[in-house]
Homo-oligomer: A and B are copies of this chain.
Amino acid sequence: MVKLKDIAETTGYSITTVSRALAGYKDVSEATRRHIVDIALSMGYQPNAVARQLRSQKTDTIGIIIPAHDSRFSDDFFSELLMGIGYAAAHNGYDLLVSAQTSSDEMSAYQRIVGGNRVDGVILARTRRSDPRIAYLKEVGIPFVVSGRAAPDEPSDFPYIDADSQQGIYAATRHLIQLGHRNIGIVLPPLDIAFTPYRLMGYQRALLEANLPYEQANVTYGDLRRFGGQQAAHALLTQRPQLTAIVACNDAMALGVMQAVESLGLRVGADIAVTGFDDISVAEYATPPLTTVRQPIQEIGQRLVEMLVHIIHRQPLEHPQTLLSPTLIVRQSCGAKQS
């Protein structure tokens, strides 16, 4: 690899001058600058990013840690978000350092990435209740943004972007009620996920507004994956045969719910209406197509990156905390349209 020293030797200038010439400082004459640049180009010089990072104490890199996967199934929401973040980062002149949690010790990845000075800032996804990761990032004082605000009873004293879960689930539930459903079940995410209470509140609000009773027995929980939705829905439907609709709190679980419905010999949309949340790309192609609450995943990724870059550059944020209004996408799984 050719380095500054090599260019200095072949041009006869000092390392300092070569460095400053390439950086475009104005205390090097136009003639020598051009000469140095030409030589550097012809020698195929590429600055060593690591050395530069060490000296200038910045990396032009954003870190993100992907959650541990305990199943073979892919997390479509997360990978769409990841791609969105990747493109946005590149667009803003940043690279993306992706690290996966390996062991049970979830903090070690963060400590390695952040404490090791490998990134200028971090994006954190899927906030949890009293999230230790957020506490850590606050403590070390590194710039970070979060996809998803804190639980309602905790302070969201950090920059975030989030879809309005309550409003989204409210819209979905109300839609089901308007279609005539009176016995509506819900499959919630685990309680330690920060957005779970919001989604429950949206469900409750819609019931309340329609003078329908809120019954504990209609509420179950599943991990955010398909299998979790399937298990939860199976239990729900066998114990509560009067149900005619199920609100699932993300699309992956909604697909599982649909599986469970069919495995019980019922028809999705006709016998049991199903709705999801996220509008991952699968949703549109599901059988029947899934009525769901759309989050603009790619846009969220993009805005997260833009916020983070602002923070890194110590520029003030005009909207440090953004709540996006999700939109209800009505397809066939709720029975509103004929397929």
Contacts and interface: CB of A to CB of B under 8 A. Distances in A.
A83 B90 contact: no
A102 interface: yes
A22 interface: no
Contact of A50 (B53, B91, B102): B53
Nearest to A92: B102
Contacts of A281: 73-74, 76, 282
Interface string A274-298: 0000000110011111000000001
Interface string A112-123: 110111100000
A96 interface: yes
A99 B91 contact: no
A101 interface: yes
Contacts of A287: 285-289, 339
A285 B288 contact: no
A23 interface: no
Contacts of A99: 90, 95-96
Given A89-B100, A95-B97, A95-B99, A46 B83 contact: no
Give the copy number. Answer: 2
Contact of A79 (B83, B91, B117): B83
B79 A118 contact: no
A208 interface: no
A116 B286 contact: no
Contacts of A75: 83
Contact of A117 (B48, B102, B115): B48
Interface string A100-142: 1110000001011101111000000000000000000000000
A217 interface: no
Interface in A66-101: 66, 69, 72-76, 78-80, 82-83, 86-87, 89-91, 95-101
B118 A49 contact: yes
Interface residues of A, number: 55
Contacts of A80: 74, 79
B79 A116 contact: no
B298 A74 contact: yes
Contacts of A288: 287
A220 interface: no
A59 interface: yes
A31 interface: no
Interface in A39-74: 44, 46-51, 53-54, 59, 61, 66, 69, 72-74
A335 to B, nearest CB: 16
Given A82-B82, A98-B95, A100-B90, A255 B285 contact: yes
30 contacts: A1-B115, A47-B116, A48-B117, A49-B117, A50-B54, A50-B118, A54-B54, A61-B97, A66-B86, A69-B83, A72-B298, A73-B281, A74-B83, A79-B83, A86-B98, A86-B100, A87-B100, A89-B100, A90-B109, A95-B99, A96-B97, A96-B100, A98-B98, A255-B285, A281-B282, A282-B285, A285-B285, A285-B286, A287-B287, A287-B339
